[in-house]
């Protein structure tokens, strides 16, 4: 890779909130921009070139027409980073997978449905090989900087595969299950890396970073049941960001 790698940022189906996180980095953005050559970033600039070494890709794949575009990005980039929940797990977009594409089109577009197309929402790694992930909804700016720094140094970015509960313990947070809030926290099955941001403020984890490997879903369902949620509501909580990994 060249001394100053060429970087491109792309977006598929998403709210583009992760790209806005980059734009909102202010002073940090200046340091990052000085270390790379940014050649394409629709949210912030006109493209200056078509060749790139690293591609940061936001959004889920929700139309078949997006597949060849993503595959071309993979072909051209040495490194592909899935940026945010939509790219990593298909995020909230995947909740539509409970219905057929035809049902979704009719619900959203009504009589004009025939003019649009849609398919199952998929994370990037169901279409191409993904090298690294920046998780959360939206992604955390400091995590973006950490990943960029690691890539510039030729290191593998850190991607913990343990639960958010571990981070809560390390920070000595009071477990939200012990608070009189009736909140259901998905920390026991959600991948860490956010620094337990939501529990820091007394709010429950909603699972936006995706599930840890070999997550004990049965135990999580049992815990939610003990807190008064029936199976349907418990599944709804799990599906918010993990429908593609957890569909019943």
User: Which residues constitute the domain of residue 227?
Assistant: 164-242
Total domains, the chain: 2
Together in a domain, 140 and 202: no
* Residue 247 domain-assigned (yes or no): no
Which tokens in the block code for residue 79? 């490194």
Together in a domain, 132 and 187: no
* Residue 83 domain-assigned (yes or no): yes
Together in a domain, 193 and 97: no
113, 131, 152 - which closes a domain: 152
Together in a domain, 176 and 138: no
Instruction: State residue 28's pLDDT score.
Output: 79
CB 229 within 8 A of CB 184: yes
152, 180, 215 - which closes a domain: 152
* Residue 93 domain-assigned (yes or no): yes
* Residue 140 domain-assigned (yes or no): yes
Query: Average pLDDT in the 208-221 region?
Result: 94
* Residue 159 domain-assigned (yes or no): no
Higher-pLDDT residue of 2 and 109 is: 109
Together in a domain, 42 and 110: yes
| CA 93/CA 126 separation, integer angstroms | 14
Residue 164 CB neighbours (<10 A): 28
* Residue 147 domain-assigned (yes or no): yes
95, 130, 152 - which closes a domain: 152
Together in a domain, 121 and 47: yes
Together in a domain, 99 and 205: no
Instruction: State residue 244's pLDDT score.
Output: 83
| CA 122/CA 23 separation, integer angstroms | 26
Together in a domain, 90 and 191: no
Query: 179 in helix, strand or coil?
Result: coil
Instruction: State residue 180's pLDDT score.
Output: 57
- Whether residue 93 is predicted with pLDDT greater than 60 in this model: the reply is yes
CATH number reported for the structural domain that contains residue 95 in this entry: 3.40.50.700
Together in a domain, 124 and 200: no
Q: How many CA atoms, within 13 angstroms, populate the side-chain half-sphere of residue 98? A: 13
- Whether residue 134 is predicted with pLDDT greater than 80 in this model: the reply is yes
Buried b (16+ CB within 10 A) or exposed e, 121-146: bbbbbebbebbbbbbbbbbbbebbbe
Together in a domain, 196 and 119: no
% pLDDT > 90, the chain:
73
Which phi and psi angles does 225 have, rounded to 5°? -65, -40
Q: Return the closest-CA partner of residue 11 out of 49, 60, 50, 54.
A: 60
- Whether residue 43 is predicted with pLDDT greater than 70 in this model: the reply is no
- Whether residue 39 is predicted with pLDDT greater than 70 in this model: the reply is yes
- Whether residue 245 is predicted with pLDDT greater than 80 in this model: the reply is no
- Whether residue 181 is predicted with pLDDT greater than 70 in this model: the reply is no
Instruction: State residue 66's pLDDT score.
Output: 96
% pLDDT > 70, the chain:
93
Together in a domain, 42 and 139: yes
Together in a domain, 188 and 69: no
């Amino acid at each position: 890779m060249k001394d100053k790698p060429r970087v491109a940022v792309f977006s598929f189906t998403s709210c583009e909130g992760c790209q806005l996180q980059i734009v909102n980095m202010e002073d940090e953005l200046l340091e990052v921009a000085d270390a790379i050559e940014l050649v394409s970033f629709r949210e912030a600039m006109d493209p200056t070139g078509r060749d790139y070494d690293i591609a940061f890709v936001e959004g889920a794949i929700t139309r078949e027409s997006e597949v060849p575009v993503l595959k071309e990005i993979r072909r051209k980039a040495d490194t592909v980073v899935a940026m945010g929940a939509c790219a990593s797990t298909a995020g909230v977009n995947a909740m539509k997978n409970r219905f057929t594409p035809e049902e979704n089109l009719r619900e959203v577009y009504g009589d004009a449905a025939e003019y649009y197309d849609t398919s199952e929402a998929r994370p990037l790694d169901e279409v191409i090989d993904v090298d690294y992930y920046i998780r959360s909804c939206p992604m955390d700016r400091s995590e973006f900087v950490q990943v960029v720094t690691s890539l510039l140094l030729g290191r593998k970015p850190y991607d913990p595969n343990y639960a958010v509960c571990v981070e809560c313990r390390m920070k000595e947070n009071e477990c939200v299950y012990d608070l009189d809030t009736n909140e259901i926290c998905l920390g026991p099955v959600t991948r860490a890396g956010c620094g337990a941001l939501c529990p820091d403020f007394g709010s429950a984890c909603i699972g936006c970073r995706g599930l840890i490997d070999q997550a004990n879903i049965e135990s999580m369902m049992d815990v939610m049941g003990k807190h008064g949620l029936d199976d349907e509501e418990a599944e709804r909580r799990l599906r918010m960001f993990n429908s593609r990994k957890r569909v019943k």
